[in-house]
Amino acid sequence: MRFSFLLHTGISAALLLTSLPMASAQRVKSAAFSYLPEQTDDRYNQRVPSKTLPLPAGGFIVLAHTSATEYAVERYDAELKRQWSTVLPLTAGEAVDGFARSSSHALVVVHQGGSSQQLTAYSLDLSNGQKLPAKKLLDASSRDRRPGVAFSPDGSKLVVWRYLTQGAQIKAISASVYDGKLTKLKDRTYDFHDQGGFFSTTVHVGNDGSQLVTLVGDEMKKLTVRRYRNDSPDVKVMSVSVGGTFGGKVVNVFDSRFRLLPDNVLYAAAICNERETGLYHSLKVVKFDFSAEGDMKFAPEVKFTPEYLAEANKATGSAAKRLEDVYLTDLLLTDDKQLVVAAEKKYEEGGDDSPGHTRELHLFGYNEFQTPTWHSIIGKDQAAPATEGYSSIGYRAAVFGPEVQVVTWEKLKNKSDLYLRRLNIQTGVVSEPKGLGLNVAADQNPSYVKDFTAWLDAKTLIGVSRPSKKSAALMLNKIVVK
């Protein structure tokens, strides 16, 4: 199968559209590409959402799923010439759970199920694709929750962990930190006996190997971050309540997302809703800064008022009586710490085998002082069969200077294509969608693989798509935006 490349963006409900000159694009290079769609038990949260990783020296690497029992890591130059390909054979019950790169190596983490669980990693030299022997990172019982893996922002460190439970309740996490060559740096245990009842947690790792453990606790009303260092037993904790009782209504965290920066500053965003009714209440953003003595800043909340719902309905041409199925998807930051929080409506028609849908994209802008300055709503209407999950629909976004570029695959005015929009981060103004001229097939066969969409620079895009209904093959495309 092959794919073609698509960009899409929608309509801003809060702001006027820009009258800036529209982008033009040209597909300057294509190459044959083999890919087998992923099968996952969690279509909302892909374990490897990015399968194309740009390289600082030029070109990129991809994680290609070439058959049911085989993956390959491949390096291409900027002209789509393949420089090397290294096969990673997988046995039955194995799946890729992580893919990242450092300045010198690519890392692939494989999960094995069955009678027991294991996480195994491969490290590949970026210069020639040479693969180091597989290294087992951890073991877990088949009865345990699925282990986790996370990479540092620069890919030079990774942390793997398993959950220690009592009944269904998490009591602790046992974790190990490794460098890019899979040398173990530290074993740690994070204890949660003080958390009591219902909470959620995950682990992040910094470029220096520090671990930041995030918790949504206190009956899903409080955000907490614990920082663990490899050279000290001290644990630094920051915590803030984002839920509570407001106007007699109990409000708690419905959805949360975290973004760790190279300087160990961690941003957290939470959508809060009313516990009894499920009505969306507000968006809250917190910055946890672990440099120096440490600092925490809580941004003013953005409330989901009736007026906000009216804006969403106007952007989508609908008459919804409440916000539903909107989930946090991205925290996008500029170099000077201006922030865009992105959330997307995604849902399935019925059971596990029903089509998936993604609709409007909700964008919220914050200045460098964490003051909310604008919001915008991009309207879109995308659907994909259950076999594809959300790998072909939704959007991809990247920050370049004061601008966010947003790409989606859509059919607009009877033309199936990738569409590009530009968002001005300072003003929230969104440009009209511009087709990239790929003429992507629009049928029930795989047409576009969002996971492979990546920017080599502000004007060069890489993507995988199928150019027409007559073609059964996917193509790897290079697109230049003028």
> Does residue 197 carry a pLDDT above 90?
no
Tokens at 468, concatenated: 């027409």
| Tens-digit pLDDT profile for residues 321-374 | 999 999 999 999 999 999 999 999 999 887 777 889 999 999 999 999 999 999
Amino acid letter, 15? L
Q: How confident is the model at residue 24 (pLDDT cuts 50, 70, 90)?
A: low
Tokens at 385, concatenated: 């069969």
> Does residue 153 carry a pLDDT above 60?
yes
Q: How confident is the model at residue 470 (pLDDT cuts 50, 70, 90)?
A: confident
Amino acid letter, 112? Q
* Overall size of the chain counted in residues: 482
> Does residue 22 carry a pLDDT above 60?
no
Quick one: average pLDDT of 290-317?
Answer: 93
Tokens at 53, concatenated: 């990783």
Determine the Cα–Cα distance for residues 171 and 164; give it in Å rounded to an integer.
Answer: 6
CB atoms within 10 A of CB 464: 27
HSE, CB side, 13 Å, CA atoms: give it for residue 67.
8
- pLDDT value at residue 12: 35
Quick one: average pLDDT of 428-439?
Answer: 93
Residue 2's closest CA among 438, 463, 442, 473?
Answer: 473
Instruction: Please give the distance of CA 164 from its chain centroid, rounded to a whole number.
Output: 26
Give all strands of the β-sheet with 415-424 in edge-to-edge order. Answer: 396-400, 403-412, 415-424, 434-435
| Tens-digit pLDDT profile for residues 231-272 | 999 999 999 999 999 999 999 999 999 999 999 999 999 999
Residue 148 DSSP SS3: strand
Pick the range with the lowest mean pLDDT from 8-17, 48-57, 223-232, 266-275: 8-17
Tell me if 326 sits within 8 A of 271, measured CB to CB. Answer: yes
- pLDDT value at residue 23: 57
